[in-house]
Structures are given as C-alpha cells and as structure tokens.
Amino acid sequence: MGIIALNNTIMKTRISVIYGNNIKKMTQTLLQAENAAERIGDKTASIVLKPNLVLYSDPAQGATTHTEIVEGTIEYLNDNGFRRITVAEGAWIGASTEECFRKLGYYDLRERYGIRLVDTKKDEYVKVSPCGIPMEVSRTLMEAGFIINMPVLKGHCQTQMTHAMKNLKGCISDKSKRDFHRLGLDLPIAALNTVLRSDLTISDSICGDLDFEEGGNPVETNRMMASDNPIILDAYAATLMGYEPEEIGYLKEARKLGLLESGEWEISELSKPIPSESGPKGTAKRLSVYTEPDEACSACYASLIRALRIFKEEGGNPGNMKIAIGQGYKGKTIKIGVGSCCSEATINVPGCPAKASDILTMLRRL
C-alpha cells in the first residue's frame, strides 16, 4: 500500500494484479474481478479500447500492447451483450497507425468480431483547453460512453516511465503531440487526463521495455493489472519501476491539479508470481551480471533489474555484487537477497514480489 497525495479523507483504490502466461485468460479474469460489465451497464454504450501502438513493434519487444488483451476484452464484452466496440489509437509522429493495425492483427479482429478501428491521426478533433493548454482530442474518445485504457508499463527517456496517464497522448492530433513536447509533457499529460478519463485500465506489464518507449530491452514480468483509477494505478506502477510517485513529473502535476481523489491503494492479488522463462534482453541483460537468480519469478527479477538500472544511472557502482533472488534460496543463509524467499539473507529486501523502489533504497544504502 502506498500514499501519493492526501486530503482529509483517505480512501483506498483497489488494484487487481494477476500473473501468468495466458494473456487472454488473464485479461478476462481481470475484467471479471473489476466487474466491468456491471460498470458499463448500458448494453448500447459506445466502448472504446485504447491500446498502446506507438509504432509497429512485436509486443514481445516491450513497446506495444499484446493483441491478446484487446481480443480477450472484445470477447468478454461480446459475451456480456456489448456490441458497439471501437479500437482507437494513433502511433507516434512519423509512424503509421495503419501499419500497426495491419501487422499486429487488428484487421483480423475487425473481420472476426465486427469492431470499428479508428486511427486517431485521421479522426475529427474536439478542441479543448484544460489548464489553459489548447489541444485537439479525438472525437471518438471524447464521445465514448466507456473508455478502456490498455497501456504498456515501460520506461521512457523523458518522463522516466509511461503507463496509463501518458497512453492517452495517442488520442490527440500530431499537432497537439508536438505542442505537448514543446511544453515539456508533464503538465499537458496531466491536463489531458482532466478531459479524458479512463473508466477502466487494463495494464500490460507482461514484458515492458526497461528504458524506451519504442522497445528493444524487454524485461519479462508476466504481470497484468487493472484499476478504475489510472492515476493511482500510475502511482503504484512507479514504485514497480523503481521510482517514488512524486519523482514522476506528470503524477506530480496530477496531484497539483487535484486529480487524486484518494491517496492509497490496496492490492488484490488474483494469482501468485510465476518463474521467469526467458530472462532480460538488451541493456537489461547486461545488468543481470550483478544477480544470481535461482528459480526467480519474473516480476521479482524485473524489479531487481529496474533498480540496478536506476542505481547505475545515478553513478552507483555495484562492483562485484551478486544479489540472490528466487525460490531456490528459501531457508538458505546468504549475504544479499531480494524478495521474501531470501528472508534469511543478512541484507534482505522483503516483498513477494519485491518492489524496485525498495531494492533501490537498499542499493543506495550499501
């Protein structure tokens, strides 16, 4: 549980978390746990699904939403009598949304389920000015009856992390995207979230990229999350990436704008973390030399890799450090270990899985 902003009334926001390999089934379990059908209510509602298709890239590279999440959601909605379903997205400037739709299977989804696809680069726009920042927002999103946001939890070279709040940037015109960058992203992203509210967020934290929005350094986590509060969900996600919520600029702006109705979250864990199968790639793989995994779960291992990355960026030197992690260390006396499996370690970061922000604190102390 964590706190980001406080007023006199503290309410807890539930975040459902699930681990596994069957992405479609995990999606549907999350939707059931969040009572999505009851929340939408009106069977004739226009439901918009907003994945992250920043550019064409295989989801295994850690940049784009796994198509199984979109498909699992469409099936869930159809099974519950909802038929007006649109998938809307706009790739980043210079990339083609249509290429993403074509290569990632969205035209097949349209064929099979009769959904509508909208490239927000070509949509009509509604002009709004939240916080005095003019922006052109996709009419499809503005007029949606229910928005299901489907971000990827990953690193970002400017905002440190990108997730639910920033994923809505795909709903504005390319002109507005340029304006956002000119204004430094943080305040515009928070402002956009005052006019476009994600009714439900289904987070793809399966193998998000460690550093970059465009992928290439995926870190397997095999985790998905869901919440009706995208801002609290981002605050929690920040801790999984190794940051305190207040270190993320757009969360800080969100707090100033009073977007946080409550400051606490509680985790509802629908399944337990699972062992890693493939391990990290790219930059993340180089960081693995400081680790000694033995039956490590992917979520725990990803936290360790993320903490090591930030520590090195800060100028920290792990030297010859070998950090134990995994179920193989249960009951063993070791020097440094991460996660509750290594509770016998002289220096231990508790948690199942351990949080990257806690591991980073341990590394700084050492």
List interacting residues with ligand SF4 (CB under 6 A).
273, 296-297, 299-300, 326-327, 339-341, 352-353
46 vs 327, beta carbon nearer ligand SF4: 327
230 vs 293, beta carbon nearer ligand SF4: 293
> Residue 34 CB, nearest distance to ligand SF4 (Å)?
23
Total Cβ atoms within 10 A of residue 247: 15
301 vs 311, beta carbon nearer ligand SF4: 301
DSSP secondary structure of 226-238: EES-HHHHHHHHH
CA distance linking residue 349 with residue 225, whole number of Å: 23
Distance of CA 142 to the CA centre of its chain: 22
User: Quick check: helix, strand or coil at residue 241?
Assistant: coil
> Residue 23 CB, nearest distance to ligand SF4 (Å)?
19
Residues 6+ apart with CB under 8 A from 330: 341
CA-closest candidate to residue 104, choices 63, 154, 163:
63
23 vs 324, beta carbon nearer ligand SF4: 324
Cβ–Cβ under 8 Å, residues 305 and 284: yes
215 vs 273, beta carbon nearer ligand SF4: 273
> Residue 15 CB, nearest distance to ligand SF4 (Å)?
17
Cβ–Cβ under 8 Å, residues 322 and 291: yes
CA-closest candidate to residue 95, choices 151, 52, 138, 40:
52
194 vs 343, beta carbon nearer ligand SF4: 343
342: amino acid identity, one letter:
C
CA distance linking residue 47 with residue 24, whole number of Å: 19
> Residue 327 CB, nearest distance to ligand SF4 (Å)?
5
- Residue 244: both structure tokens together: 């305190």
111 vs 277, beta carbon nearer ligand SF4: 277
- Residue 123: both structure tokens together: 């949509």
117 vs 352, beta carbon nearer ligand SF4: 352
> Residue 326 CB, nearest distance to ligand SF4 (Å)?
5
140 vs 298, beta carbon nearer ligand SF4: 298
> Residue 260 CB, nearest distance to ligand SF4 (Å)?
28
Phi, psi of 227 (to 5 degrees): -165, 155
Residues 6+ apart with CB under 8 A from 138: 88, 90, 118, 120, 123, 124, 125, 126, 171, 172, 173
Q: Is the peptide bond before 59 cis (omega within 30 degrees of 0)?
A: no
> Residue 238 CB, nearest distance to ligand SF4 (Å)?
19
> Residue 337 CB, nearest distance to ligand SF4 (Å)?
9
25-48 burial, b if ≥16 CB within 10 A, otherwise e? ebbbbbbeebebbeebeeeebbbb
> Residue 299 CB, nearest distance to ligand SF4 (Å)?
6
